[in-house]
Structure 1
């Protein structure tokens, strides 16, 4: 008898398991049909599942959604009414019933149904959430807000539904009230900050960001820095200010935060990195300078390192795009060098001293063309880190390139790349390794090195990598023997090492022919690299390229370079001395080298007219404004 009972119990269990598996399979099929918007085919499956399981909210909810999507509101209403009569998931059903009435145009009836549901379940917190969600689904935001507020009053808890209230205000476009609720939420629960920031990010609305930043700034001015939510709120504020490009406000508040605390919170330090990413170099400079006199020596020395790096990136960006006169760029490079040198004088045991010494090697070679100075810093680096340190290997490779020892450079740079786990150093190593191969005439191997680097579009060297690889590809197409690339590599090496006259002699077949495929790129390269003694030659080169090759993609850059050069001549920042012979061999005497203020202004006007939305348009308009201000003085 016992065995027979166990046997029948097992059969019943297997029967229900089989039914469950079958229903789950049917529900998955219905879901797939819903995702494919085949609602008509999904409805019979969901109807059967609902009839078999009337107490299941999942089947009920999906069936109602399917009926609504095919606009069969009458049948949807019948099923909801029946569900209410059965007493299954009554609250959710009444929420759905209100939505259906609203869709049928019976707004007052919908509000009445929702209100009645709340009145009958006033002590049930879930009821407020369910009904307000239905209201939001029908964009009845004001009614939803009233419902959430009613819940707070009845349950005497002003922290209820803060997130839901904020989201509803946001959907209603009531940004002031929305951000106020979000900030109350963060004050109550600082961990919610990431969710709030994500919500702001999803909106992508500058008006919202401006309102949110002003509201938050006012709130934080009255809030104690010791409040548990202050740090999270500050992170949100700095993000909002950077998103709206309010860089000065971001700097000022970060400084206020730092000065209001009795300990270092590094608010300006973290902001400095973000200023660098946004190319806001003056603000980054001020952020790091703040810590130069810190009593915390670790912080002070790190600020010198970051400040030196800021000057370097500032100079490189300005030079790459020719945004300021050459003498201003030179000053920035000198500041980077001096700041690094001062750091070494103050603390020769600084944690990142190897990076600083390698930077000094770079500056000595790239900017000052002084291999002896580079050797001095390399010796200190070798003594400090040893011969196998990646920075030592990199520095030795750089010096080997300058000294025309390309095989040694390739070996040391390859070793440096294998030895480092720092992406910044690896990018520099790969670029200069490729450049060394290009100088040595091994263009194909250089191209291989460049492919991986140019994919790192955040790298400073990515643009240079792309440019060099295009040169190699164009050179091989123009001359499969590689002789053009050999000459180009040899000439560029002379530029790299400061042998400018020799470089111009080697490169003359290219720059002297405006139709040469490399002439435009080389004109930009020579204009940005040659020193002041070659100003007249640079004007001649730019004029010829602009007049001869008006369809070049580099026309805007060529016009900007010429306008900036002429402005410097007019302002007396460049003086062309006819007694200098640096460019006599290459200079044509009929090139105009004297200009009036009006002529200088006209060059910028021509640029704006030709490229009103170009990269340099905003810079040119700023120059024109400066001219106008000058006339008013």
Structure 2
């Protein structure tokens, strides 16, 4: 079907655009020039001459158009009849005749010409395409539809022309007809699901076609009818779930997914996929319901353990991403980890839970000793994957760094770097080792590693490497006092170790003893980051505003504005100020890597519909 649709579009394009740029001879050049300037009385002379000389179909089209534009309908009719005699089976000439009649105001004659042509249609697929395309070329879309409808009957289901008719309905602005044709494709072949979604997404959120309903409502209503009518066809329920996800109606998607899972007697895989989509959209409550629905299938279900693990991961994200989580929340989460591990046991399958619990202990419960113990247990479990072991070692290195055991941390990073050469995982390990060198004041060695990482296949790692490299380069030239940078690196490490009070004191010392130093904007950014970590959003905003006001066109200004937008939007819920921050970023830092996302968020906050 898709092959024919592309062929159909190509034919139309060629028939309309033709060879307008082909002109080579002086006569051809003049003909094109006069035609483009709408000087049809002059163009017709040349096109008549060119056509009479060559009989070329291309010249025929322009010659006919000139005659019609000049109102010389008798001569135009004579020209078309001459072509019809040469090629009586070519439907283009019959359509051209109707076109001439319509232009002459003889609409009855045109209708008769078109109807006679359709009556001559045979059950030949190519003939159907040719005739329909002839009508489309003259913008006779209703007759093109009639051609396809008759062709559908004549071919008796061999080829139903759903895609082609859907495109015509779309061109007519008949969204209901368009949606119906595309959805009917799925009755024939469910393999076209992705293509149908791609076509329908064009009208998602659309209200521009003069219908009482939006594109979403039209699609949803037709899908609901088909779900009821074709209960045995899961594809329509899948389409409905897809539409609900597009609308961000995750709870509705959950209800439909759960019903489909039950109807199809599935193992919960569909529910888990939906849960993952919900998590990526921070719809944690719906994700939790989806995972719980899988767990209700019982422990013998294949997805029970994965769902149990992902449920806990989701609870983790829900709590830790909340701006106002409490110690009680953390304690409850810790208990959930322990109860789940107690139920499922400690093994390779549950090793991610050990890692998650270790992270919770190290960075939120401040029990690094317990965290190290959990990770050391995890990496010795039989059957754990190489990737998991690398992730656990990176986390273990981070925790050892918190504990001040810098060289032991570096050893773990080096192990991962060695095991994952030329891989983003190895690059991440190398980046962390570069930071160790930076923390300890070995800026030359840190710079050497960062230079390598600038070419990382991971854009995030490459950007982080570039940022740290610039910080070191800008503050460690031959004639530069390295003490401020060493102090800043120390503050960076203290912050990483959750010694925020000492970090802030160190940053203040730089500002006091080295007033006007180039690190001033970095100091403000670091203070803002520390305040974010402490969930002190007002203080974070204060430092970011200072940075933007004093260093509005320096390298960190766009970062600061984006952070401001995020804090206002997601933490303080001050949407107007979020809009202001995003707008300032868009207008003052147009080349920033944050600009695209800032524009998207600005438009969403403004209420624009974004597909």
TM-score (norm 1): 0.67
Q: 1:523 aligns with which of 527, 534, 547?
A: 527
Structure 2 CA distance for partners of 1:178 and 1:350, relative to 1, 3 Å: farther
Task: Please tell me whether residue 208 in structure 1 is matched to residue 178 in structure 2.
Answer: no
2:38 matched to 1:40? no
CA-CA distance at 1:511 after TM superposition: 6.7
Distance 1:68 1:558, change over 3 A: same
- CA shift in 2, pair 1:426/1:476, >3 Å: closer
1:14-93 aligned within 5 A: 37-41=20-24, 81-87=81-87, 90-93=90-93
Deviation, structure 1 residue 377: 1.3
1:451 aligns with 2:454: yes
Check 1:414–1:479 CA distance in 2 against 1; reply closer, same or farther (3 A cut): closer
Partner of 2:296: 293
Partner of 1:504: 504
- Over 3 Å counting, the alpha-carbon distance change for 1:263 and 1:563 in structure 2 is closer
Q: 1:141 to 1:404 in 2, by over 3 A?
A: same
Q: Distance in 1 between matches of 2:82 and 2:370?
A: 90
- Residue 149 of structure 1 corresponds to which residue in structure 2? 149
Q: State the shift of 1:545 in Å.
A: 6.3
CA distance in 1, matches of 2:269, 2:406: 44
- SS in structure 1 of the partner of residue 302 of structure 2: helix
Q: Report the equivalent of 1:598.
A: none
In the TM superposition, residue 498 of structure 1 has moved relative to its aligned partner by 2.4
Q: Does 1:279 align with 2:286?
A: no
Alpha-carbon distance in structure 2 between the residues aligned to 1:70 and 1:421: 69
Residue 247 of structure 2 is aligned to residue 244 of structure 1: yes
Q: Is the 8 A contact 1:390 1:420 kept in 2?
A: no
Kept in 1, the 8 Å contact 2:258–2:271? The answer is yes
User: 1:41 is paired with a residue of what secondary structure?
Assistant: coil
In terms of mean alpha carbon deviation, does 393-402 or 508-517 score higher?
A: 508-517
Q: Structure 1 residue 186: deviation in Å?
A: 0.7
Equivalent of 1:325 in 323, 326, 336:
323
Correspondence for 1:184: 184
TM-superposed deviation, 1:300: 1.3
Q: Following the alignment from structure 2 to structure 1, what is the Cα–Cα distance between the partners of residues 116 and 412?
A: 80
> CA, structure 1 residues 299+544, in 2 after alignment: closer, same or farther (shift >3 Å)?
closer
Check conservation: 1:311, 1:335, Cα contact below 8 A.
no
Q: Partners in 2 of 1:619 and 1:52 — Cα distance?
A: 61
After superposition, the C-alpha distances for 1:484-523 in whole angstroms (9 at most, x for unaligned) are 3332222122222222332233222357779922233123
Alignment partners' CA distance in 1, 2:66 and 2:356: 68
Deviations 1:157-181 (A, max 9, x none): 6983333332222221211222122
Gaps of 5+ in 2: 1-13, 30-46, 207-213, 585-597
1:418-440 C-alpha deviation (Å, 9 max, x unpaired): 54599885675455445434433
CA RMSD of aligned residues (A): 4.9
Query: Partners of 1:310 and 1:283 in 2: how far apart?
Result: 10
1:219 equivalent in structure 2:
226
Q: 1:523–1:87: structure 2 CA closer, same or farther, 3 Å change rule? A: same
- Going from structure 1 to structure 2, the CA distance change for 1:281 and 1:438 (only over 3 Å counts) comes to farther
Gaps of 5+ in 1: 1-30, 319-323, 568-600, 623-633
Mapped pair 1:381 → 2:385: no
Partner of residue 364 from structure 1, selected from 361, 365, 370: 361
* 1:259 corresponding residue in structure 2: 262
State the alpha-carbon separation in 1 of the partners of residues 492 and 144 from structure 2.
69
**Taking structure 1 as reference, are residues 550 and 288 closer, same or farther at Cα in structure 2, changes over 3 Å only?**
same
TM-score, length basis structure 2 = 0.69
User: Aligned to 2:369, what secondary structure does the other structure show?
Assistant: helix
Distance of aligned partners of 1:246 and 1:431 in 2 relative to their CA distance in 1, 3 Å threshold: farther
Mapped pair 1:490 → 2:493 = no
Describe the shift of the 1:186–1:530 C-alpha distance in structure 2 as closer, same or farther (beyond 3 A).
closer
